[in-house]
Amino acid sequence: MTLDTDPRDPAGPTDAAAAAPPASWGEPRTRTVTWFDPLQAAATGAQLPGRAYLEAIADGTLPPPPIASLFSFRITEVGDGEARFAVVPDESAYNPIGLVHGGLVCTLLDSVVGCAVHSQLPAGTGYTSIELKVSYLRPVRADSGEIHAHGWVTKPGRRVAFAEGDVRSADGALLASASSSLLIIAP
């Protein structure tokens, strides 16, 4: 007898045959995530000013970070103190009520505001989020199509930077907004 964990019961192991999902669940779906060594890319990126590093990711010179691969985020534009991302959410990010989980939108906002700050940092300088406040305004579904995130720096700083961001549908409807403070990590 093989013991396995039943995905319906996180309490513990069960008989593998008993763990088979009921036919009423339909066919299982899969999504494969592929990424490259993030430490190698980060080491290369540490030698570049922030904007140049982000542009190298956007143009495919350097690989995207694993979180971008996990959610299929892509950088569409980098400027001085701003960044833009796009993603087409799918049902693999659904929550129990049949909507894209707010965590995907929150991660998108955290990423785009962080990259907006990163675009103004010198080589070897990093950042990390101290605080992120997200307001969700409209639901996102797998059939929402491509959504766009824009992040911009509202106040740069030597120790703490402040940024804002929003997520919009393809037709420009505001889906969510965020404000963030980020700690600057000097080399």
Residue entry with tokens 């700690």: 183
d(CA 125, CA 50): 8
pLDDT at 187 (0 to 100): 85
Flag whether pLDDT at 11 surpasses 80. no
- How does residue 119 score in pLDDT terms, banded at 50, 70 and 90? very high
Range 42-61 average pLDDT: 97
pLDDT at 2 (0 to 100): 44
pLDDT at 8 (0 to 100): 52
pLDDT at 1 (0 to 100): 40
Residues of the chain with pLDDT > 90: what percent?
86
pLDDT at 7 (0 to 100): 52
3-state secondary structure of 87: strand
CATH number for domain 41-185, candidates 3.10.129.10, 3.40.190.290, 3.40.980.10, 3.40.640.10? 3.10.129.10
User: 173-182, pLDDT tens digit by residue?
Assistant: 999 999 999 9
Range 49-70 average pLDDT: 97
Boundaries of every domain in the chain: 41-185
| Among 96, 98, 97, 107, CA closest to 147 | 107
Strand order in the sheet with 147-155: 74-79, 82-87, 147-155, 160-168, 174-185, 126-136
- How does residue 4 score in pLDDT terms, banded at 50, 70 and 90? very low
User: 138-181, pLDDT tens digit by residue?
Assistant: 999 988 899 999 999 999 999 999 999 999 999 999 999 999 99
Indicate the average pLDDT of the chain: 92
Q: Say which residues have a Cβ less than 8 Å from residue 11's Cβ, sequence separation at least 6.
A: none
